[in-house]
Structure formats: structure tokens, C-alpha cells
Amino acid sequence: MNSTTLFEGDSASLRMTFYSLLDYRLLVCAHPILGDKVRFRVSDTDGEELYNSVEGGKDSWDFRVNSTQELIIDVVVPEDPSNANNIPPSGCVTVVLGFRE
């Protein structure tokens, strides 16, 4: 499984090139211990936000790019203020990408 371990409060950033002429589906999933709090946003290299899973309300996003370019996928596991334990939970977070012609 290709994924990484994140603690509550962690964030990871993935810089990736996406080709024009292809349609993509981006999916982020996380171990249940992290609950459904994991969120992600996609932005271009100028910092303009293209998708936000909180506003989009989905853990997947279907898209294509006008021209081949690098996009930045930021994955965040927000802190849980109600967690009194000094040890934050951690779990696997996976970013999965599919394409079609």
C-alpha cells in the first residue's frame, strides 16, 4: 500500500505533474482512527486553490487541466481539541489517483 503515516495535526504536501488530455480522479482515504477529519486541498503553483474537500464535501475530485502542469495536493489531519491525551492518534493516509483517456 502506498501511503504515509500522519499524526493528528500533521500535514503532507504532494507535488505532482498532471497531463492535459487525460481526465483524473483524485481520492484521499485514511485509517478509521483518524475518523473522517482528513481533508485535502489542491492548488496550482501560484497558490490558487482549485479544490477544497471541505467545501466540495467529497473525498474525491474529478478534474482535468487546461495544460500539463504541476499541482500541489495538501493533505491535513486537523487537531481534535477534545482530545485530552498528550499522544495524538496516527494512521495511514493514502492518496490514490486514477486517469482515463
Query: Which residues bind to other proteins, rule: CB under 8 A?
Result: 1-23, 25, 27, 44, 50-51, 61-71, 79, 86-88, 92-101
Q: CB of residue 32 vs other proteins: minimum separation in angstroms?
A: 15
**82-95 core/surface letters (b: 16 or more CB in 10 A; e: else):** eeeeeeebbbebeb
The residue among 82 and 86 lying less far from other proteins, judged by its C-beta, is: 86
Element (H, E) at 12: strand 11-18
What is the C-alpha to C-alpha distance for residues 18 and 87, in angstroms, rounded to an integer?
37
Q: CB of residue 36 vs other proteins: minimum separation in angstroms?
A: 19
The DSSP bridge pattern shows strands 39-44 and 49-52 to be antiparallel
Q: CB of residue 72 vs other proteins: minimum separation in angstroms?
A: 9
Answer yes or no: are the C-beta atoms of 11 and 37 closer than 8 Å.
no
Q: CB of residue 82 vs other proteins: minimum separation in angstroms?
A: 15
Residue 17 identity? T
